[in-house]
Amino acid sequence: MPTLEDALRQAMAEETAGLHAAPDLLERVVAGAGKRRRRLRLAAAALAVAAAAVPAGYVAAGSVATYPDRVTVTPAPEPPPIDDVPREPSKVPDLGDLGDGREFGHVKVGYLPEGLRWKNWSVDLGDSYSTSYDYAGDEHGGYCVQLYVYEDDAVVQITDEIQTMRAEKEGEDVTVGGRTGYYVVQEVGVDGTDGTPTLIVQLAERQWAEIFISPGYVADLGSMAKVKAEMWKIAEGLSSTL
């Protein structure tokens, strides 16, 4: 029985080559399937990309069952009717050409680690949006640093998540350049890695930013002390244009 991960991978590979989507979003969603923290947000971003690629009726025609370690799709007894009219996938909303990637949405990025470039990718979900950076500026490659911004109604998502992590005694409250923040290593590492260091910081009254360092980039930096130093510099260099 094909898993949802397999179905989305195949559909995305075949029909969304031109879409601007971080290719590692799905891996991070699936790898963290045993935890509830922020998975729904990442799933929303990944599925927003995949929705345009999955053939019409594929998921709707079946039933979806969630297990602690996987999500599977059971096809309906009869396949959906074939639509003979070719249709272009719907374009996933993005933030457009960001140039060097140092300004997006309502945020300016004052500091990036040496050698990192904008990945020519973004996703715009309205009151939340995201972009990322790597060595090559390759939208189809893995990220090194990803930024996720919450504004207005979406702020409730991140503040609720912080409260949940506090209650579960995961992560710690921090202060970053005089700003309220929270640091945690999310247990969504892949390929045997320990997880994804994550720093959440309040930029303005109705705006928060979340900084992710990929497990692969953690290895490049060489130590968690270096990782945290770079994350703090990124956070301190962020400024709000709201």
* Listed residue (201, 223, 221) closest to 210, CA to CA: 201
Which 3 state secondary structure label does DSSP give 23? coil
Convert the pLDDT of each residue in 7-37 to its tens digit. 555 555 554 444 444 444 443 443 333 344 4
* Listed residue (138, 119, 145) closest to 214, CA to CA: 145
Q: Mean pLDDT over residues 39-59, rounded?
A: 42
Q: How many residues does the chain have?
A: 242
Q: Token pair of 150, please? A: 């919450």
Convert the pLDDT of each residue in 100-147 to its tens digit. 999 999 999 999 999 999 999 999 999 999 999 999 999 988 999 999
pLDDT at 46: 46
Inter-residue contact 198 to 210 (CB < 8 Å): yes
pLDDT at 52: 39
Name the band, by pLDDT with cuts 50, 70 and 90, for residue 92.
Answer: confident
pLDDT at 29: 40
Among the ranges given (45-54, 76-85, 106-115, 166-175), the one the predictor scored with the smallest mean pLDDT = 45-54
Cβ-Cβ contacts under 8 Å for 44 (sequence gap 6 or more): 125
Convert the pLDDT of each residue in 173-224 to its tens digit. 999 999 999 999 987 655 556 789 999 999 999 999 999 999 999 999 999 9
Among the ranges given (22-26, 73-77, 148-152), the one the predictor scored with the smallest mean pLDDT = 22-26
